Structure 1
Amino acid sequence: MNVLVTGATGFVGRRLVDALLETAHDVTVLVRDADAYDQPGDVTVVEGDVLEPGGFEASLEDVDVAYYLIHAMDASGDFAARDRLAARNFERAASDAGLERIVYLSGLGSDADQLSSHLASRREVETILAAGSADVTVLRAAVIVGDGSASFRMVRQLATRLPVMITPQWIETPCQPIAIDDVVAYCLAVLERPETAGGTYEIGGPDVLTYREMLIETAEIATGRRPLIVPVPILSPRLSAYWVGLVTDVPKELAYPLIGGVRNPVVVTDDRLAQLVDVEPTPFDVAVRRALDTDHEATPHLETRTQPRRDAE
């Protein structure tokens, strides 16, 4: 199968490309700067930008499945408008190319809630991609734990730099974080299960934690000490983003939409995919240790972890 990975230089994209190279699939990557791309192996590299029609369509030639891992949240300005434009351009090009399937990594959260701008943009991209002729598989995840994750970097730096934290009420919001190894495993698993085409699936780790619990556990693993966390009702998301900007190196363009999203509970309520594929979930503490490299382990052999369950219906 010919597989395209967009966003190949990103946190998830880099790891997904490495994992795909261990399979029998042919891999193409779409990058904005081919000269700066550190090619990991036998991949076809195409330079282009989905924000510019006419400049990226060559990446879709002879491709069967594309992973859409593009998010504009780390850039200044209106990230939702850029995400909308990028998704529309990609959907049109994919339809014109006769692409069979798109796999999109989206955000976890209930549509019944008032979604943050970050999560609402992810939902809009889902809708735009699904409007084309390709079948779209959506994987919705909450905080991804791994070295290079912006959301986990924010958690880690807050946990390790502040022995005392005055926090807003969102500190008690429940979250179901997931290890980066598990995200990659699910991405590979749906590729091998054609019946997941056109479906939307929620993915998460085995632990449901509040942000307070995530901060405390991360601090204890990283520093050996337990921070004092005092929630107060007066910190708005905007003030919280400024606070995060003072304490961490997460850019404000990224911190504000991330903080805006923590008011939404992000917990798996539909575990259909876990029943279809055999991905052993990684506990939060293990994922944190891997991300901090205090208990470094090699990435699991994903080709053995993602074999479909033979008794699945």
Structure 2
Amino acid sequence: MTATNRRPVIALTGASGYIGRNLLKQLTPYADIIALSRNGDDKEDTEHVTWRSCDLFSMADAEKALEGADYAYYLVHSMKPSAKLTQGTFENMDVILADNFAQAAEKQGVKQIVYLSGLVPDADHLSRHIRSRLEVEQVLTSYQVPVTTLRAGLIVGPNGSSFPILAKMVKRLPVMLLPKWTRKKTHPIYIGDMLDSLVRCAGRTDLYDRSIDVGGPEVMTYKNMMRETAEVMGKQPKMIPVPFMTVNLSRLWVSLVSNSPREMVYPLIESLIHPMIARPENMVSGISVGSTPFREAARKSLEEEKQKRPAGRLKVLTIPDIDNDVRSVQRIPLPHGKTALWTAHYYAEWLSRKIHPLLSVQDDFDGVINIQFRGWTLLELRHSADRSQPDRALFYITGGLFDDKKENERGRLEFRKIPGREECIIAIHDYMPSLPWFMYKYTQAKAHRFVMYRFRRHLEKEERKHGTARLPLLLQGRPFINQ
């Protein structure tokens, strides 16, 4: 990109996050930025930055957010819970986010998506975190918008995830037990170099539909990174190699010592069993190799973190306003040749048989599904035909005794086929229950999770037992079974 001619418009997801904030500063000399954040309306626009609130779990929000964008950066990850009660794994939530973003980018005519992912080791059994990053890449590339993926290992910076955890460990532990995984090699990169690589990708047609590995000038072990970080801090912790501390035990220990949330630490530590090194065949000149040595990167990061830390000031804890909202996401197998809409009606039919006679499910096949108890509607689900597609069936929660009608504005249930896979996501978003929270959490929420588990097991069993041919027969010849 250059500062000449018309300034391109770039949509930047995660603009209020650590990497997003810094990338925003790097991009503004060359482009007008649509800065996307869940709380974008609270931010102040500037000459070249327009903030937009965006919840990427909503397809409609994603489409509005990307309106007018030439290029888009995808820096999203869902390791942290996204609602007061979040049921589901980060892998399944990441699929929804990526699918919404990619479809919205295609609809709005975005020319390129730049996606920041992780290095992929040469191994048969990958960690959940790495598998998820690869699946997101596959989802993003399933549509017509070219995707450029930058795969990075540990990013060295004062904020973010991995390096601050490592720094806290070194700072707080006078004696460090180093399990076997600390001898694995990794390819750290300084945040400044990472940002330069990201900026250089936008608008490069020769990088369309490519996955590019990036790393710093050194390949080193986690043990060496800890030792050099300690030297920069002026500390001399005793490091004792041990053969017995497993990854499972390490992740718990790291979470406790660093005081970091399990949702973030566990997937990261699980990935450390693999060497994480940029591969020469996946490198691009001028983009793949950073120039900042690890020791200098660690020193700069620690100094920046120290400068931003309030001195002599008591930190006041504030309790944010939290809605009593629910997000529940589950993944099920999808019979070959079947659509999301088929899954929705099949689920209603299966549920009706399983909960009878305690409850009943009325599916009129005209767009309304009612879950009832002795004639009383507990939940009413209304199909949104205009917001649905063959691979996505959307139902809004529009009534019933279990629905908080005053608060529920966006509550919805969706069935979504995962691109390129015979799997389907069933998700509840922004649901506001009418039951008191403690009662909902231990009754209705647990019942829903159990029902989803049983439905998944049912589909797996039927496919093993009969293959996919028998499943439509259970719907007794309804006209929608081939949709």
Q: Normalising by structure 1, what TM-score? A: 0.88
Instruction: Find the residue that maps to 1:293 and give its secondary structure.
Output: helix
Task: Indicate the residue corresponding to 1:267 in structure 2.
Answer: 277
1:29 is matched by which residue type in structure 2? A
For residues 280 and 55 of structure 1, do their structure 2 counterparts lie closer, same or farther at Cα, with a shift above 3 Å needed?
Answer: closer
Partner amino acid for 2:59? P
Q: 2:222 is matched with which residue?
A: 211
Alignment partner of 1:179 is 2:187: no
8 Å CA contact 1:201, 1:270 repeated in 2: no
**Between 101-110 and 227-236, the greater mean CA deviation after superposition:** 227-236
Identity of aligned residues (%): 38
1:88 aligned onto 2:88 = no
Q: Which 5+ residue runs of structure 1 have no aligned equivalent?
A: 298-313
Alignment of 1:53-68 (within 5 A): 53-68=59-74
1:42 deviates by 2.8
Deviation per residue, 1:248-307 (Å, 9 max, x gap): 12111111011001111111112664424597511101111110017999xxxxxxxxxx
User: 1:254 and 1:119 mapped to 2: Cα distance?
Assistant: 13
Deviations 1:58-84 (A, max 9, x none): 121121110000001233651111111
Q: Hey, what's the Cα distance between the residues in 1 that align with 2:19 and 2:230?
A: 24
Paired with 2:215 and 2:229, the residues of 1 have a C-alpha distance of: 18
For residue 92 of structure 1, report the CA deviation from its aligned partner.
1.3
Higher strand share: 2
Aligned to 1:21: 28
The 1:8/1:226 distance shift into structure 2, 3 A limit, reads same
One-letter amino acid matched to 1:13: G
SS of 1:56's equivalent? helix
Q: Return the alpha-carbon distance in structure 1 between the equivalents of residues 220 and 48 of structure 2.
A: 40
Match of 1:134 in 2: 145
Within-5 A mapping of 1:88-127? 88-127=99-138
Q: One-letter code of the match for 1:293?
A: E
Counterpart CA distance in 2 for 1:121 and 1:281 is: 29
User: What SS does structure 2 have at the residue aligned with 1:191?
Assistant: coil
Q: 2:49 aligns with which of 6, 22, 43?
A: 43
Aligned-partner Cα distance in 1 for 2:288–2:57 = 36
Say what the alpha-carbon RMSD is for the aligned residues: 2.1
Q: Rg larger in 1 or in 2?
A: 2
- Pairs aligned (count): 295
Q: Distance in 2 between matches of 1:10 and 1:122?
A: 18
Judged with a 3 Å threshold, the aligned counterparts in structure 2 of structure 1 residues 276 and 130 are, in CA distance, closer, same or farther, namely same
Kindly tell me: are residues 294 and 3 of structure 1, through their superposed partners in 2, closer, same or farther at Cα, counting changes over 3 Å?
Answer: closer
Task: Assess, with a 3 A threshold, how the Cα gap between structure 1 residues 40 and 173 changes in structure 2: closer, same or farther.
Answer: farther
With 124-133 and 267-276 compared, the bigger mean Cα shift is at 267-276
- Residue 232 (structure 1) shift: 2.3
C-alpha displacement of 1:183 = 0.7
Q: Tell me, in whole angstroms, the C-alpha distance in 2 between the residues paired with 1:217 and 1:41.
A: 42
Q: Secondary structure at the match of 2:215?
A: coil
1:8 to 11, 15, 24: 15
> Any unmatched runs of 5+ in structure 2?
1-7, 308-483
Question: Secondary structure in 2 aligned to 1:28?
Answer: strand
Residue 89 of structure 1, CA deviation? 1.0
